[in-house]
Copies of this chain bind each other. A is one copy, B any other.
Amino acid sequence: MVVIGNEILSGKVVDGNSGLLARELRELGVSLDRVVVIPDDTETIADTVARYSAEFDVVFTSGGVGPTHDDITIGAVASAFDREVVIHPELRQLIDGWIDGDLTPAHLKMAEVPAGAELVADEHFRFPTVMIENVYVLPGIPEIFKAKVAGLRDRLRGQPWYLRQVYVNSDEAAIAPSLDATLEAFPELLLGSYPRLDRSEYSVKLTLESRDEQYVDAALDDLMGRLPAGSVLRVER
A22-B11, A35-B37, A197-B141 known; A106+B68 contact, CB < 8 A:
no
**Count the A residues whose beta carbon is within 8 Å of the partner chain — how many?**
61
Which applies to chain A's interface (DSSP): helix, strand, loop or mixed?
Answer: mixed
Number of copies: 2
A68-B172, A173-B104, A191-B69 known; A8+B36 contact, CB < 8 A:
no
Contacts of A107 in B (CB 8 A): 173
Pick the contact of A23 from B11, B141, B197 — CB < 8 Å? B11
Pick the contact of A197 from B7, B144, B192 — CB < 8 Å? B144
Give 1 or 0 for each of A25-40: 1 = CB within 8 Å of chain B CB.
1100001111111110
Q: Is A225 an interface residue (CB 8 A)?
A: no
The closest CB in chain B to the CB of A3 belongs to B35
Contacts of A36 in B (CB 8 A): 34-37
